[in-house]
Amino acid sequence: MLLAGAALLIGAVPAPAAEAVLNIYNWNDYIDPDTVPAFEKATGIKVTYDLYDANETLEAKLSAGGSGYDIVVPSLFPFAARQIKGGFYQPLDKSKLKNYGHLDKGLLARMAAQDAGNAYLVPWMSGTVVIGYNVDKIKQILPNGPVDSLKMLFDPAVAAKLKDCGISIMDSPTEVFPPALLALGLNPDSKKADELKKAAALLMKVRPSVRRYDSAEYINALANGDICIAWGYSSDMQVAKHRAQEAGKGVNIAVVIPKEGALRYIDTVAIPKDAPHTEAALKFIDFIMQPEVIAKTSSKIYVMSGNADAKPFVTPEVANDPTIFPPPEVEKTIYTITGSDAATDRLRTRLWTEIKTGH
């Protein structure tokens, strides 16, 4: 059902012909299905909506230039931060964003460290990178397993016991090196070459037990019982958990923030520098900054939005889930990562390729 009054809030006058199109490039399973149709109905703007499954995919598309996209959703650390420096995005005309005041000021302050004056980015969603696992399968294999710990995936001895039931790890070094470093007792944001190599050595030891490196299909694989444990985004794990419940096939998924700590991601909305439909993009950003609108996505994909006024409109199940809105004692263990120089990026990418290929 479309949000009541959405057309009134955004204005029902169709955009000029030149702006009657909007091209969005977003993550897989990362928006409420009603949002785009509601926007199209309210504005008369026709949306083309494409999907990607990793920040690296988006960055490659933007680096090539001429992507044709008007709205993209990069993660702040370290991608959007360095993309701003690289001139990938155009500044936001905040005079056309009348709903800007609903945004979480604390999150904006954190973002401002990478985006001075919040000139280029608007927060979309914020979550953590966590463990999702099949409760019954893990209990059968490891009845006393360390299910609340990074050891489940980053201890080679533990991972070896889970090899046959299926381990999936994200195909993204940015989200995998930090927990590997943390599992070794090192700074998860380390840029030191020797420490990155130590993390790579650990990941290489785990590699024989990993069935897949994947950043999209693990959602359904976990929900269907095809794998028993995964490392991925908290929103994805929650989607897998609820899909399993809806399927009614007895697959029970648990989502865990590791006790050692978890990487917090902040996904943002930005307009590429060469976007062909800037005015339409600004209309869309203003539309999704309405608390009632963004709350539907937050409830649908089980993740905290960047909109402070949206929480009252989020379903109680989501609003009261400590893995989505962590309590203060857990929040203390959650960390973020910062941008790195080109040499570090090349090293990490080379090490990641060696891990995936096994040599």
pLDDT digits (tens, 9 = 90+) for 28-62: 889 999 999 999 999 999 999 999 988 989 999 99
Q: Which fold has domain 127-264+334-357?
A: D-Maltodextrin-Binding Protein; domain 2 (3.40.190)
Q: Which fold has domain 6-121+270-323?
A: D-Maltodextrin-Binding Protein; domain 2 (3.40.190)
pLDDT at 194 exceeding the cut of 50: yes
Segment 292-297 mean pLDDT: 98
pLDDT band at 152 (very low <50, low <70, confident <90, very high): very high
- For residue 113, how many other CB atoms are within 10 A of its CB? 12
pLDDT at 359: 82
Two structure tokens written together for 337: 């990562």
The per-residue b/e assignment along 59-80, b for 16 or more CB within 10 angstroms, e otherwise, is bebbeeeebebbbbbbbbbbbb
CA gap 147, 131 in Å, rounded: 8
pLDDT at 2: 37
According to CATH, where is 3.40.190.10 located in the chain?
6-121+270-323, 127-264+334-357
Strand partners of residue 327: none
CB contact at 8 A, 97 and 289: yes
Cβ neighbours for 119, distance < 8 A, ≥ 6 positions apart: 91, 92
pLDDT digits (tens, 9 = 90+) for 312-323: 999 999 999 999
